A and B are shown apart, each in its own frame.
Chain A
Amino acid sequence: MPYPVEQNEKFAAYAHPERLVSTEWLAAAIESGALQDGKLVVVESDEDVLLYETGHIPGAVKIDWHTDLNDEVTRDYVDGAAFATLAAAKGISRDSTVVIYGDKSNWWAAYALWVFTLFGHEDVRLLDGGRDKWIAEGRALTTDKPAITPGEYPVVERNDAPIRAFKEDVLAHFGKPLIDVRSTEEYTGQRTHMPAYPEEGALRGGHIPTAASIPWARAAAEDGTYRSRAELEALYLGEAGLTEGDDVVAYCRIGERSSHTWFALKYLLGFDSVRNYDGSWTEWGNAVRVPIAKGTERGTAPAHR
């Protein structure tokens, strides 16, 4: 890890404290000129494609989850060449420390961090509390575009298998824990999209049988920071019933909200094997002959075929 890791009591309780930084830490790092040489790069990633332009952390660059990280044609992420071009254009080198933050309790920031991890970017961290906490604390914002010195980024092929699950992987996963991070209404099948969000065309409602329902936002405190280790354990070990060493798959609607949960399970609670099923409900709820459970009960795993 090229840039010093933040030490504080809350983070120290997590399995991988080096994956989070606080607003105080980032403000001090920027103040000290850390962004000058490309060793530390701050990235904003939001749901709203124009939010960065209304004002961002001084020196931060923007990466849009949809236009920058998704392939335009295939439903997939960009390839190694496109990612290398993107990273270099944002001033990111392979050995840069990248701190990502965004709106809505870092939901899109966690998604961007997960995509960086598909490419094996070693040192990528989340700003605990994200954009809202930074603003709530009255910290500096600017609309000035940062002067970017292009980084040097090699073409690295994505390594999906360790942290990304496909539909076939989920079918083979039955018997091991699944976490559904969508709203209760989506879980029970009452609706197929988020409350107050656009209908994205899932033909069936409900959840993947045996999945525990832990809506993603329960991992976040009121100020958008992650809850403490003890609180997260109560949620995922207690309520969801995970045990140490479990192989876990998390999913939502397109894989964005579940990235937030993936981060909590992987880096804060230290589960080694956690995969994000990015096909999520927009694939499962449209797929032919996959098993679906409706209502509040988790349901039972189908017999293996």
Chain B
Amino acid sequence: MNTSALPTALSQIVDDFQAVTEPERLQLLLEFSRELPDPPERLADHPELMEQVVECQSPLFLTIETEKSDGGPADSVRLFFKAPPEAPTTRGFAGVLHEGLDGLSPAEILAVPDDMPELLGLTRAITPLRMRGMTAMLGRIKRKVAALPQQS
């Protein structure tokens, strides 16, 4: 798999990870954890509107919403995540997916390969077990996107 199959923003993130050494990749993941935006209040105050991804080691909730883009044919998908500050690895994964996928069309998100997290080059540094959480997060997003009502 190469990064040319990925949406531009995600491909850029993967390139950034691959360009640096392993310790620097961890630092980069930490930066993504800090940049993950909080969900809007209407979601933050209603955790029942978000789904827990149980494969993650720490509590991680996510949901998606769609927006009609002006004059465009496709909806764009907005992603919302909630994870506690004491779970920086989980937040970092969510941050990567948020920056890489937020605002894309359903078709673009569905085209992201399921094993995309492996491209970040973190498996050795943080162990396969911890990587599973991110793969599960991407899988959950894709399942939710696939379940959206058919677009006209």
Contact = CB atoms under 8 A, between A and B. Distances in A.
B112 to A, nearest CB: 21
A72 B125 CA distance: 11
A72 B22 CA distance: 16
B58 interface: yes
A53 B92 CA distance: 12
Question: What interface size band does chain A fall in?
Answer: 10 to 19
B54 A50 contact: no
Contact of A54 (B54, B55, B59, B88): B88
A196 B33 contact: no
A196 B52 contact: yes
Chain A binding surface, main DSSP class = loop
Nearest to A51: B88
A123 interface: no
A48 interface: yes
B55 A199 contact: yes
Interface string A23-65: 0000000000000000000000001111101100000000000
Contact of A67 (B55, B127, B136): B127
Given A47-B57, A198-B57, A53 B126 contact: no
A197 B54 contact: yes
Nearest to A143: B30
A132 B86 CA distance: 10
A66 interface: yes
B27 A103 contact: no
B59 A50 contact: no
A200 interface: yes
A54 B30 contact: yes
B86 A51 contact: yes
B27 A53 contact: yes
Contacts of A199: 55
Given A67-B125, A67-B127, A49 B54 contact: no
Nearest to A66: B127
Interface string B49-69: 000101111110000000000
Contacts of B92: 50
Contacts of A48: 57-58, 86-90
B29 A50 contact: yes
Given A50-B30, A50-B92, A198 B129 contact: yes
Q: Which of B26, B33, B89 has the most A CB atoms < 10 Å from its CB? A: B89
19 contacts: A47-B57, A48-B86, A48-B90, A49-B26, A49-B126, A49-B127, A51-B86, A51-B88, A51-B89, A53-B26, A53-B30, A66-B129, A72-B124, A196-B59, A197-B54, A198-B56, A198-B57, A198-B129, A199-B55
Interface of B: 26-27, 29-30, 33, 52, 54-59, 85-90, 92, 124-127, 129-130, 132-133, 136
Interface of A: 47-51, 53-54, 66-67, 72, 103, 196-200
